[in-house]
Amino acid sequence: MSTGHGPRDAVDFDHPPADPLPLLERWLEDAKALATPNPNAMTLATVDADGAPSARIVLLRGLTREGARFFTNRNSRKGKALGAHARAALLFHWDLLDRQVRIEGRVTLAADAESDEYFAHRPVDSRVNAWASDQSEPVANRAELERRAEEMTRRFEGADVPRPPHWGGYRVSLDRIEFWQGDKYRLHDRVEYRMRADGTYEVRRLCP
């Protein structure tokens, strides 16, 4: 039962909506409205080919019924992990709202057209640096990074910077979504959605 403080009143956890997507979109908008730093930041957890877990922050760059989308270098450690095990977990945490959302699902590659469109809207320097950086690979020092960036800047001077073939989008399907609203005395509210074969969700309230 809600204790009536702050944003928790916006959700009835005893009678949650059947469809989690509008609620997730609303929570993202709530985070943006409070000027939360990087409200679209999410932890991406993967498992490497050897079974080792790994986590890092990426930015949500699109949310549809097909899943949560982000972009990265596919030769990076996370790209290699997703190539080995095409499942991942995502976590949003908005401290100012005392809220979390967890997502788990299958991972697929975004279409080339999607990746091209997003890449084309990035700042020029960011596009250049996508070519300059062998993400997750060792580098001698900062000076070497800057040398590579300058080399790529000269290479593409006066021309459009195309998307590198190793850079693109991923989508994590919304197979499981959990909403968490914090409580001052640790009696948190949690509701879990698990996708059925027909695309609808089984909804369960969870103990904190």
- Active site positions, annotated: 186
DSSP string, 143-207: HHHHHHHHHHHHHTTTS--PPPTTEEEEEE--SEEEEEE--TTS--EEEEEEE-TTS-EEEEEE-
The two tokens of residue 143 are 């000076």
The two tokens of residue 31 are 């985070």
Instruction: Give, as one character, the DSSP assignment of residue 75.
Output: T
Rounded (10°) CA dihedral 162, 166, 168, 172: 180
Sign of CA dihedral 5, 9, 11, 12: positive
| Number of continuous H segments (helices) and E segments (strands) in the chain | 5, 10
